[in-house]
Each structure stands twice: as C-alpha cells, then as structure tokens.
Amino acid sequence: MASLSFEHVFAPPAEIDDTTPILVLLHSTGGNQHQLVTLGQQLAPKAAILSPLGQVNENGFQRFFKRYGEGKLDLDDLARQAERLNDFVREASEAYGFSLANIIAGGYSNGANAAVGMFLSEPSPVRSLLLFRAMISLQPEPMPTRPSSHALVSAGRFDQTMPPDNPERLTAILQATGASVTLTWQSTGHQLTEGDVATAREWFANLPAI
C-alpha cells in the first residue's frame, strides 16, 4: 500500500483501465478499512476497492467525523473531513494510477454520511453514491450541480437511529443536485441484510458506463 494521508486498503481487479469503477468504501463507527472490502467485491467484481480508515476516535471507536451524540452530527467537522477524504481520493488516484472519471463513494452508517459529505463538497471527485443507512447531513447553499450522477439510498424501515422520514428527505436533497436517486426500503433496522446486498448488486450492475 502506498503511504497516503489515510491508512487504507486498495484492492484492484485483475484488469484496470480508465473505465474501471473505483468504489470508495467508508466503514461504520467502530469498523475499519477492511470492514466493507469483501462486500464491495461481491457487489462489483470488476471494480477497484479503495477503503480508508476513519481518523476520528470516539471512545476507542474509529469514525470519519465527530458527533455530539446519537443522531447529532457535527456538520462543521463533517465538512472538513469530507474535503480531506476527497483529497485522499485524489492522492490515491496519483499513487495507484486510476482515473477519477468513475468514482463511486459507498458507505454504511457513519461512512454513508461521510460519503454524502464528499459528494456535496465542491469540488468533488465523487460521481455516484451507494448509501446504506445514511442520514441527512450537509445541505450546502448553493447546492452543487451533479446532473450525471446516480445514488442508491438503502434504508431500514424499522431503523430507530433516525427519524422515519429521514431517507425521503435525504433523497430530495440529493435529487436537488440533479442526481438520479433510487430509494429502497429493507424490512429491518439499522443492520445490513441480504436484501441490501441484492439491491445494491442490481443497482451497480445497471449503472451507466462512463
């Protein structure tokens, strides 16, 4: 692994060129850079996986940005950390020689929120979003324009970590950028399920080529 600003895993496919999707995967609170790699390879076998370790420590658990409590996000820190993550992706592109044309940021819980922050930052290398249990986070003014982008919001119908209307509100925010957004509901709480995996695999398979 190259020595970059974030400790990370980079797992390229057997063949990589300028059309290869680069799936940037961001773990949940208490996870690490290995947490979602296998999942990413299952969802998109032809993608390269880039997975950093969050640098914010919360009582011994790694995260990507600070919070004040359950469901109470530090939006100023999220904005700062999102910019750092975008810079890291650019660093990794130079170090590993992959194109920035097809960056897809994906994450679970805290990582999904950080991915949204990356996408809404300006400028951002993130083209599309794969979100598991994301919350509303940044709402920049003016909203960035992302008309060729795509996003999947996979929500838990019984997720008690956020208000019930949160996924619809997040969907509307992302649609305001011009992105094409798919909202799906799983019959579960905050945890990931096989339904999430199947939905994400189908969504990824149908993403338009760059």
Domain ranges of the chain: 8-205
Helix then strand then coil, in percent of the chain rounded to 5, is 30, 25, 45
What is the CATH class of 8-205?
alpha beta
pTM for the whole structure: 0.95
Q: What is the pLDDT of residues 133-174, one digit of tens each?
A: 999 888 888 999 999 999 999 999 999 998 999 999 999 999
Is residue 177 classed as helix, strand or coil in its secondary structure? coil
* C-beta of residue 112 within 8 angstroms of C-beta of residue 132: yes
Return the active site residues.
Answer: 109, 159, 190
Is residue 13 reached through a cis peptide bond, with omega within 30 degrees of 0 on the bond before it?
Answer: no
In this prediction, the residues of the chain whose per-residue pLDDT falls under 50 are none
